[in-house]
Amino acid sequence: MHMKVIRIFVIIFIILPIKVFTTLADDPVQVHLFKSNIPPDQIAEKEFIPFYGMELLIQHRIKHTVFAVQIKGNQNNQDKNDDWIPLGTGFFMRVEGIGICGFTCRHVIQRAVQAKKQIYMGIDTDQGYSRFKCKPIYIDPKYDIAVLHHGREGEEIIRTLHYCYTPDVIGESNSLLEGRAVVIPGYPLGLGIQEDQNHPVIRMGIIAQYAGKDTFLIDGITSPGNSGSPVYLLKTQRLIGMIIAYEADHISLMDTQGRIAAKLPYNSGIAKSLTGEIIAEVVKRIPNIK
């Protein structure tokens, strides 16, 4: 009896953990997460990410692809909460001939540009959370895309502490199959950057509809502040889109005569995203910085 108990103990607490650890170490997804210098396309076609890999994928890569788009607020009062005004989300993309750029929505920065406000990208540095000045180098009003550049001083910091995708890992539209899971990191409602900390909010959803156009729909909640959030296909980790809006709905309030007295807007839970192919197309059009 005692020998059986000992055998069971050895199997459960010694052999099985060793087997799991070996599997984890041999899994190319896991190896890539801990060795970020391995090109993403080496694991782009992996069909299945185990449950333990999903958390590591988010923690070690996806969270580090985004930055908060901000402008200065009221820095003359004692309240530190309004020192910086969040505008939306951006993500890093390495562009040949330019270096690391930030992609976001045109409408995120439009008012700041019109008011000639300095735009900042909030990123992690070895000294903690910091903000770098940036400027738009390309704006595409048709697709609601803006490309930001931070200047050469931020290049090394971003390269070291953040994950930058390259155009070759942008997903094609044939991967936009209804029901596939997606991950959407960002700063909805200004969350994730309180007290000069960088903790982007991770949201998930599924592709709800793709009708062969420039945009597709996601069954997943996005909010103001998510504009510019990248959309990653969980299955292959490819960048397949960028959040540009959510579909608003409303509740009608009726008066005693049965007439509509007011319409209260609310978030329908359906988000709209540009396709990755549109992002890739814009990348090709970005002019070189002289």
> 133: helix, coil or strand?
strand
Whether the Cβ atoms of residue 239 and residue 175 lie closer than 8 Å to each other: no
As for how many domains the chain has, the answer is 1
pLDDT of res. 186: 95
pLDDT at position 35 over 90? no
pLDDT of res. 287: 61
Tokens linked to 14: 């010694």
Identify whether 33 is part of a domain. no
Identify whether 122 is part of a domain. yes
Identify whether 95 is part of a domain. yes
Helix, strand, coil shares of the chain, percent, nearest 5, are: 30, 40, 30
Phi, psi (degrees; rounded to nearest 5) at 66: -115, 160
What's the pTM value of the predicted model, to 2 decimals?
0.76
Helical spans, DSSP H, in 44-167: 51-60, 106-114, 155-161
In the predicted model, what is the mean pLDDT of the chain?
78
> 224: helix, coil or strand?
coil
Identify whether 264 is part of a domain. no
Quickly state the pLDDT bin for 7 (edges 50, 70, 90). low
Tokens linked to 265: 């807007």
Could you please report the per-residue DSSP string of 77-88? SS-GGGSEEEEE
Identify whether 90 is part of a domain. yes
Identify whether 78 is part of a domain. yes
Residue 132 belongs to what domain range? 66-166
Report the C-alpha gap between 263 and 87 in whole angstroms: 26
Identify which of 57-66, 144-153, 258-267 has the greatest average pLDDT: 144-153
Report the C-alpha gap between 20 and 31 in whole angstroms: 14
The CATH code of the domain that includes 111 is: 2.40.10.10
Q: Tell me the sheet residues that pair with 67.
A: 90
> 289: helix, coil or strand?
coil
Question: 218: exposed, middle or buried (C-beta count within 10 Å: 0-12, 13-18, 19+)?
Answer: buried
Q: What is the pLDDT of residues 96-146, one digit of tens each?
A: 888 889 999 999 999 999 999 999 998 887 777 888 899 999 999 999 999
